[in-house]
Amino acid sequence: MTFSIHGLAVSRGVAIGRAVLVASSRMDVAHYFIEAKDVDAEITRVRKGRDAVVEEIHRLQDNVATMGPKEAPQELAALLDVHLMLLQDEELIGGVKHWITERLYNAEWALTTQLEVVARHFDEMEDAYLRERKADLEQIVERVLRAMKGAASPITTHVPRSARKHAQQDLLLDDTVDVPLVLIAHDLSPADMLQFKQSVFAGFITDVGGKTSHTAIVARSMDIPAVVGARTCSQLVRQDDWVIIDGDAGVVIVDPSSIILAEYGFKQRQGELERGRLQRLLHTPAVTMDGEKVQLLANIEMPEDAQSALKAGALGVGLFRSEFLFMGRQGKLPDEEEQFQAYKKAVEGMHGLPVTIRTVDVGADKPLDDTLRDDAHLNPALGLRAIRWSLADPAMFLTQLRAILRAAAFGQVRLLVPMLAHAREIRQTLAHIDQARAMLDNKGVAYGPIKLGAMIEIPAAALSLKLFLKHFDFLSIGTNDLIQYTLAIDRADESVAHLYDPLHPAVLRLVADTIAECRAQGKDVSVCGEMAGDIALTKLLLGLGLRSFSMHPAQILAVKQEVLRSDASRLKPWAQQVLDAEDPAQAMALA
């Protein structure tokens, strides 16, 4: 039966594919396709993993038999029997084989997929005792996965299927291995998303998250349709259901009829044609109709992204979120050499164009690791985040600063500091930069000149511009956090997403004043929050005097098209009207 689920639109376009429900992050496993010739080897890997666990349980049973009732209560023996039984369960084994043979999933992926299928059956059971056996099932699957870890797949991975997503136009709802897949999860951390970046999925859906949560931002950077905040989606959709993601409307359609499929197939093709048309603007300079030059820069997460930035015609990197180098590493942070190589790669990858490297901004919805999710603090977004975290760990901060300074010997580097609010923090940051230079001097290590910038993303900073402009060469407005902190709306919380409003007069006032003050003092200013890549806001920002926009590479051409259609001198008075309006959104619509 067809039904739809409404969430938040975070990444445009339409994806049509079969649902892949990912299990809880504690069972995060690699997802890739194997070659057909390797199916047997992959099944053998699972079998060996299972056999190892069966053996382990037999050993435990022998031990239990020699113990007295005090050391080993009767329940323990019964539990081991249950685990053995589950390991031999036909539904589990048959399902795993099915996913490997029919879909060419790697062994771990097949196992966790089938776990989801069987677990759902347990959930539906009337008998409470049987329902509770789901936890046992999860335990044994975890044990098999652990046992398999020793025997990593010897198998080469397949070309990501997302590369073939266009093949879905003539969907026949068949079961070939070439079916596009969409990933559905309750939650995905930014680190999880990074893992999926090179992956096989044609779209994403999560139950939680806001429009500018970092998970949504990474989805957008991958330029694949995504919906977040879809509430109970991961419970309503079943493994392998057909789903349509409408990333423009924020709607998920489950089990669509053939009429709906045809309609969305058409919409998908239209979107692709439109993107194709935009490619014609690739080499056109971004200049308004009245001759104002506009700088369009890219936001990147990893050094390799420099390639897509150049391909999209970016004139530099306006924001390299360096924290993505620090995530998902089980607490082992990258050392100076590793960071230096990463920054150098990004700098060299941009062939002389400027690269703005932001110092690490972890915390809040960007935990270093899933296991280190910040539940311990009451308000992580207001806690030890970004520069606060860096200043609290001088050795880590100095390591990063040295690496960035060294990379500056290979091209134009702009160092950007997130989340500053206090004069004291500014002084400490500058002192650390001096110290990092002195350390490199002492060791005789080469480094290059940098321009120094600050993010304006806390209202206190936007209201202390003179202080900031005294110390920094440029400012970059982080509207994602500026909105969050001005309106007291958690950007990652879908339950208040309707109040997260870039057009709130207070937000616009802070953005407008920052732009105006920088221009008055002849300092560079850009916007690197999601507002910069939103074509509905391009004209307003141009009217407010902004001439530098930094966004995901995928959005650059669409924003360029808006710039080319704009007359900056006419937009200026209009933008002032919008700024002074009680309801700016309405004022924009009326103009």
Q: Which is nearer to ligand PEP, 50 or 321 (CB)?
A: 321
As measured in angstroms, the least distance from the Cβ of 420 to ligand PEP is 12
Catalytic residue among 31, 233, 432, 528: 528
HEC string of 170-211?
HCCCCCCCCCCEEEEECCCCHHHHHHHCCCCEEEEEECCCCC
Q: Which is nearer to ligand PEP, 207 or 301 (CB)?
A: 301
Q: Which is nearer to ligand PEP, 261 or 511 (CB)?
A: 511
The single residue among 425, 481, 493, 562 that binds ligand PEP, judged by CB under 6 A, is: 481
Which is it for the CA torsion 121, 126, 131, 137, positive or negative?
Answer: negative
Specify the residue for token string 């311990």: 376
7 token code pair: 């969430």
511 token code pair: 């953005």
Q: Does 480 bind ligand PEP (CB under 6 A)?
A: yes
Binding to Mg ion by CB under 5 A, coded x per residue (else -) over 259-278, reads --------------------
Closest among 23, 358, 322 to 190, alpha carbons compared: 322
Q: Which is nearer to Mg ion, 162 or 480 (CB)?
A: 480
Q: Does 223 bind Mg ion (CB under 5 A)?
A: no
**What is the rounded distance in angstroms from the CA atom of residue 286 to the CA atom of residue 586?**
28
User: Is 214 designated active site?
Assistant: yes
Q: State the burial class of residue 566 (Cβ atoms within 10 Å of its Cβ: 0-12, 13-18, 19+).
A: buried
Residue 279 falls in which region: left (phi positive, over 0), alpha (psi -120 to 50) or beta: alpha
The single residue among 529, 543, 545, 553 that binds ligand PEP, judged by CB under 6 A, is: 529
Total residue count of the chain as it appears in this document:
591
Q: Does 479 bind ligand PEP (CB under 6 A)?
A: yes
Q: Does 457 bind ligand PEP (CB under 6 A)?
A: yes
User: Is 518 designated active site?
Assistant: no
Q: Does 490 bind ligand PEP (CB under 6 A)?
A: no
Closest among 465, 462, 346, 458 to 410, alpha carbons compared: 346
Q: Does 323 bind Mg ion (CB under 5 A)?
A: no
Q: Does 478 bind ligand PEP (CB under 6 A)?
A: yes
Instruction: Choose from Mg ion, ligand PEP, none: what does 210 bind? Cβ within 5-8 Å by kind.
Output: none
Specify the residue for token string 């197939």: 265
Q: Does 481 bind Mg ion (CB under 5 A)?
A: yes
The single residue among 246, 365, 370, 457 that binds Mg ion, judged by CB under 5 A, is: 457
Q: Does 321 bind ligand PEP (CB under 6 A)?
A: yes
Q: Which is nearer to ligand PEP, 171 or 319 (CB)?
A: 319
Q: Are 36 and 264 in contact (CB under 8 A)?
A: no
Binding window for ligand PEP (CB under 6 A); candidates: 78-86, 198-206, 389-397, 477-485: 477-485
| Residues 6 or more apart in contact with residue 369 via CB below 8 angstroms | 191, 327, 328, 329, 330, 331
- Among positions 377-416, residues that touch ligand PEP (CB under 6 A) are none
As measured in angstroms, the least distance from the Cβ of 321 to ligand PEP is 5
Q: Does 207 bind Mg ion (CB under 5 A)?
A: no
Catalytic residue among 31, 83, 186, 214: 214
Q: State the burial class of residue 443 (Cβ atoms within 10 Å of its Cβ: 0-12, 13-18, 19+).
A: exposed
Closest among 304, 311, 404 to 358, alpha carbons compared: 404
Helical H segments across 32-105, by residue range? 39-66, 74-87, 90-103
HEC string of 436-505?
HHHHHHHHCCCCCCEEEEEEECCHHHHCCHHHHHHHCCEEEECHHHHHHHHHCCCCCCHHHHHHCCCCCH
Q: Does 104 bind ligand PEP (CB under 6 A)?
A: no
Binding window for ligand PEP (CB under 6 A); candidates: 118-126, 169-177, 309-317, 474-482: 474-482
Q: How far is CA 533 from CA 137, 276, 524, in A?
A: 45, 18, 18
CA atoms within 13 A on the CB side of 427: 3
As measured in angstroms, the least distance from the Cβ of 69 to Mg ion is 59
The amino acid at 58: H
Instruction: Choose from Mg ion, ligand PEP, none: what does 425 bind? Cβ within 5-8 Å by kind.
Output: none
Binding window for ligand PEP (CB under 6 A); candidates: 184-192, 401-409, 473-481, 582-590: 473-481
Q: Does 365 bind Mg ion (CB under 5 A)?
A: no
Number of Cβ atoms within 10 Å of the Cβ of 47: 15
Binding to ligand PEP by CB under 6 A, coded x per residue (else -) over 186-225, reads -------------------------------x--------
Host H or E run for residue 307: helix 305-311
Q: Does 301 bind Mg ion (CB under 5 A)?
A: no
Q: Does 528 bind ligand PEP (CB under 6 A)?
A: yes
Instruction: Choose from Mg ion, ligand PEP, none: what does 528 bind? Cβ within 5-8 Å by kind.
Output: ligand PEP
How many amino acids of this chain bind Mg ion (CB under 5 A)? 3
Binding site for ligand PEP (CB under 6 A): 217, 319, 321, 361, 457, 478-481, 528-529
Catalytic residues: 214, 528
